[in-house]
Amino acid sequence: MKSLSEIETTVKRASKAAGFSWGVSEEIAKGVRSLEFFSLPGIKHLNGYFKDREKKKFDELNIFSENNLANNNFFCPILLGVSFLDQVKSLENYQKINFSNVAYPILFLSFLTRSSEIIGQKIQIQIDQKEILLNLNVNIYSSYINTEFPKVAHKLEVKFIKNEDNFSEEDWKSLYKLSENTFVEETESLKKGAAGAGLTDND
């Protein structure tokens, strides 16, 4: 089994050989490493993308809006991801961002999961009819279990999820009230035994 370090190094060198700068190659390598860490087919789809890139043209996108449509071809998932990662601090002001025709969306996903970590918010992705939840680059929950990731996303939606508790205020109050049973009333002996409360000075 290949180590994550070996995967990252090889992907970085292969990306440079495919024509990307060392800086972009490093970003690709980090993303594919994350995908493989989460048992997603990053290497497989990167290989497919590199082969298609030799004979196909892909669109770039530098300025984002709420709805982004590729002009004549499919969006390049790498350049789209790099731009998204660079601008994510301002993009989180959008509640939702839509993309049409993204090639190899799983590669774009690798940039989105890192974006989630940067802004400290969950990001929900919908690729056609499938949903994916990115949680601060700590885990990826996907409904693609036992289903092959598509090579093309005709419709891809990115939604920023506000940080909220996953429980009601009532449940919290109930739990907190129970926890109060462990509180110990402070006594004179406890005060004397507390750290820094000694009567002698050793300095």
pLDDT of residue 191: 58
> Taking residues 4-20, what's their average pLDDT?
96
Q: Does residue 81 surpass a pLDDT of 60?
A: yes
pLDDT of residue 163: 84
The DSSP secondary structure of 114-183, one letter per residue, reads HHHHHHTSEEEEEETTEEEEEETTTEEEES-TTSPPPSEEEEEEEEEEP---SS-HHHHHHHHHHHGGG-
147-168: pLDDT as tens digits = 788 899 999 999 998 888 888 9
pLDDT of residue 184: 72
137 touches 113 (CB < 8 A)? yes
Which DSSP helix (H) or strand (E) runs through 103?
A: strand 96-103
Q: Does residue 124 surpass a pLDDT of 60?
A: yes
Specify the pTM. Answer: 0.81
pLDDT of residue 99: 95
pLDDT of residue 34: 92
* Lowest mean pLDDT segment, chosen from 27-31, 81-85, 132-136: 132-136
The CA R_g of the chain, rounded to the nearest whole Å, is: 24
Which amino acid would we find at residue 140? I
* Lowest mean pLDDT segment, chosen from 35-39, 123-127, 134-138: 134-138
Tokens representing 105? 């969306």
pLDDT of residue 20: 95
Residue among 123, 78, 87, 68 at smallest CA distance from 105: 78
14-72: pLDDT as tens digits = 999 999 999 999 999 999 999 999 889 999 999 999 999 999 999 999 899 999 998 88
> Taking residues 69-89, what's their average pLDDT?
93
